């Protein structure tokens, strides 16, 4: 993700940090609508994070997350384009990234933009957030994950309300439905995303990666996969070091226990 022309991004702003990558969707002229170029560049981000796993924070520039897929391109697509799963294959890849994905949502988060957010592990928003899937009003369906991810996230009744009536949720409704878990003022949104990333980064990275994989494993694979995953972690040096550090802290006398009690202090003070 170097800054030279060969690796430059035209639809994204990308910032690399040691333990995370921050990506801003940046097509202000169309409210960050997702077009083929953005899809291709997000695939490049995924390739990098699959090779060098880090937390991913996705947000939108200019007070908008993403207004949807680029309607100009979408109108020209036909059956063969739909069967390629242009957006859905990207969002599946994002959902399967080794480390957690945080979507920081401001303003419009509609259609394909909402489906991108549904693929994240965490969603936080601002009071101006508007999130939903109005695709049926355009003669199509939300086919990049909303028909199954949204039901898992908010339950069948609300998912049908969003998908079949084009209902768009405001921030309080999205928070009540747990579609988002935090609300921040726009000026604090990225700080909130980084605070969440900090909490993730304080955990053992291998334990986080394996836990995410096991969480999304098919139900029929449990409990065998849990036991196998735990077997891997039980052999890790991080497990030994972190547990030893916990025991060392637990066995250290607290400052309060080294001080004399009030009765002892009084006795000492009254001794001749």
Give catalytic residues, as residue numbers. 135
Annotate 197-210 with three-state secondary structure: HHHHHCCCHHHHHH
Q: Which residue(s) pair with 168 in the sheet?
A: 132
Q: What is the 3-state secondary structure (H, E, C) of the chain?
A: CCCCHHHCCCCEEEEECCCEEEEEECCHHHCCCECHHHHHHHHHHHHHHHHCCCEEEEEEHHHCCECCECHHHHHHCCHHHHHHCHHHHHHHHHHCCCCCEEEEECCEEECHHHHHHHCCCEEEECCCCEEECCHHHHCCCCCCCHHHHHHHHHCHHHHHHHHHHCCEEEHHHHHHCCCCCEECCHHHHHHHHHHHHHHHHCCCHHHHHHHHHHHCCCHHHCCHHHHHHHHHHHCCHHHHHHHHHHHHHHHCCCHHHHCCCHHHHHHHHHCC
The answer for residues whose C-beta is within 8 angstroms of residue 213's C-beta and 6 or more apart is 98, 229
* Orientation of helix 36-51 relative to helix 86-95, angle to 10°: 30
């Amino acid at each position: 993700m170097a800054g030279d022309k060969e690796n430059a991004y035209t639809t994204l702003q990308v910032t690399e940090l040691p333990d995370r990558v921050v990506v801003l969707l940046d097509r202000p002229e169309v409210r960050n609508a997702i077009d083929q170029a953005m899809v291709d560049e997000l695939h490049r981000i995924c390739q990098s994070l699959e090779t060098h796993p880090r937390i991913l924070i996705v947000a939108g520039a200019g007070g908008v997350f993403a207004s949807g897929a680029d309607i100009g391109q979408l109108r020209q697509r036909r059956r063969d384009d739909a069967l390629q799963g242009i957006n859905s294959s990207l969002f599946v890849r994002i959902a399967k990234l080794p480390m957690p994905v945080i979507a920081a949502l401001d303003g419009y988060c509609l259609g394909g933009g909402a489906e991108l957010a549904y693929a994240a592990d965490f969603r936080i928003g601002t009071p101006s957030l508007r999130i939903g899937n109005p695709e049926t009003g355009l003669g199509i369906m939300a086919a990049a994950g909303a028909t199954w991810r949204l039901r898992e996230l908010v339950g069948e009744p609300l998912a049908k309300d969003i998908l079949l009536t084009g209902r768009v949720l405001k921030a309080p409704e999205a928070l009540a439905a747990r579609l988002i878990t935090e609300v921040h003022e726009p000026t604090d949104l990225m700080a909130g995303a980084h605070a969440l990333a900090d909490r993730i980064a304080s955990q053992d990275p291998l334990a986080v990666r394996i836990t995410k994989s096991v969480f999304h494993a098919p139900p029929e694979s449990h409990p065998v996969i849990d036991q196998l995953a735990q077997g891997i972690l039980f052999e890790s040096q991080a497990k030994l070091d972190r547990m030893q550090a916990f025991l060392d802290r637990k066995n250290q006398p607290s400052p309060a226990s080294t001080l004399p009690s009030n009765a002892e202090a009084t006795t000492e003070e009254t001794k001749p």
